Structure 1
Amino acid sequence: MLAISEDDNVHTRRACIFRSLCAYLNEDHEKLVKEYLDTDLEVDSNMEETVMGVYVILKDGALPDDDPHDIGVLIKGVEVLTGLGNIALACALLFGLIYCLDLSYPAELKCTF
């Protein structure tokens, strides 16, 4: 929640709400939204291991109010959507894709979904 105190805009608030929802439901928010640095060499291999979720690639040394390098949706290790504007939009689109593609919800996030 430190992000709200450093950058108080609607997109930051929505991202914190998604993370808080996971915490409230006693689930790990890192299973839904995964953050990587653009200098990390293992980003691709880590993304391939993700069953379903949202990824955020942050610029190395960026301030909290700086825009991330990329935000997107992963399904079965494949980048389905990229270049999304914020985490809340990415989560909403992930929920829509799960419904439209008739996918089963991830077991580790059963309460969030």
Structure 2
Amino acid sequence: MHAEDEAAIKESIEDTTVGIFVVKNDATSGPEDVGIVLEGLQIMQGLDNTALAAAILFGLMYVLNLNYPPELKYTFEVRQKVVMELDGTTLSKKAQVLKNRL
């Protein structure tokens, strides 16, 4: 990996509040690395796949008692309450509309 690529990756991680990152060498191969970013810090890396990273991200947010970022609030709510069926009885109006459409 080039120094410019590493600098761009580091800058992207520092600008990320909550996220999953995937590093690939080229479009045809599998991921070289999958990891989790919280509050601009690379918390985990070397995960097998993005599904595992998503599950671990939810666990970390629960254990650390973190609020969902405001711009991703409904995305996380739907994933938690509709997809993962955790506390699905209390949905916001937007999440309820989406659930009914599904």
With normalisation by structure 1, the TM-score equals: 0.60
Residue 65 of structure 2 corresponds to: 102
In the TM superposition, structure 1's runs of 4+ consecutive aligned residues that sit over 6 Å from their partners are none
Aligned length, in residue pairs = 73
> Which amino acid in 2 is paired with 1:43?
I
**Separation of aligned partners in 2, 1:51 and 1:79:** 10
Does 2:52 align with 1:86? no
Higher RCO (Cα < 8 Å, 6 or more apart): 1
Identity of matched residues, % = 42
Residue 17 of structure 2 corresponds to: 51
CA RMSD of aligned residues (A): 1.3
Q: Deviations over 1:12-35 (max 9, x none)?
A: xxxxxxxxxxxxxxxxxxxxxxxx
> Which amino acid in 2 is paired with 1:90?
A
Shift, 1:45, TM fit:
0.8
Shift, 1:62, TM fit:
3.7
Structure 2 portions without partners, runs of 5+: 77-102
**Separation of aligned partners in 2, 1:87 and 1:108:** 21
Aligned positions of 1:18-37 closer than 5 A: none
Residue 76 of structure 1 corresponds to: 39
Structure 1 portions without partners, runs of 5+: 1-37
Shift, 1:79, TM fit:
0.8
Please tell me whether Structure 1 or Structure 2 has the larger radius of gyration of its CA atoms: 2
**Separation of aligned partners in 2, 1:98 and 1:54:** 13
With normalisation by structure 2, the TM-score equals: 0.66
More helix by share: 2
